[in-house]
Structure formats: structure tokens, C-alpha cells
Amino acid sequence: MPKYQIPKSPGEFQIIESYAGTPLIWNHKKGKGKVSIPCRDWDHAEEILEKLKEFKKGGELWV
């Protein structure tokens, strides 16, 4: 189970399709504030997106 560090002001998250065809959660940032979480399928991505909406001040997310 990987752990992802969520920054204090991550911005808006979105589910996109990666080059491999799998869903990817991304916040459209580059560098230090970038969050990119690969997912198994679209249902898994939607579950993680709901968890990320609860994060207001950053923290750690176990996927």
C-alpha cells in the first residue's frame, strides 16, 4: 500500500487517462506541489478522489 504526501494547498484534483490507458489522479501542478496518483481502475480512482476532497490542510494518504 503506497503512501502519498498531499501538500497544504493541492488545488483541484481531476481524473485523467494516462498513456497506458489507466486512470490517474492529477492536480495540474508541476514541481514541489505536484500530486500524481495512479489507480487500478475508474472505480478505484473515484474512491480516492472522494478521500482527497476531504483533505483541506494536506497530510498523508494511504492508497
- Using alpha carbons, list the distances in angstroms from residue 57 to 4, 7, 10, 42, 52: 14, 8, 9, 26, 11
The Cα 24–Cα 42 span in angstroms is: 9
pLDDT digit string (tens) for 2-44?
Answer: 899 888 888 899 999 999 999 999 999 998 889 999 999 999 9
* Block residue for cell numbers 478522489: 49
Q: List all residues 6 or more positions away from 6 whose beta carbon is below 8 Å from its beta carbon.
A: 35, 52, 55, 58, 59, 60, 61
- The 10 Å Cβ neighbour count of residue 63 is 15
Reported pTM: 0.82
Does 56 score more than 80 pLDDT? no
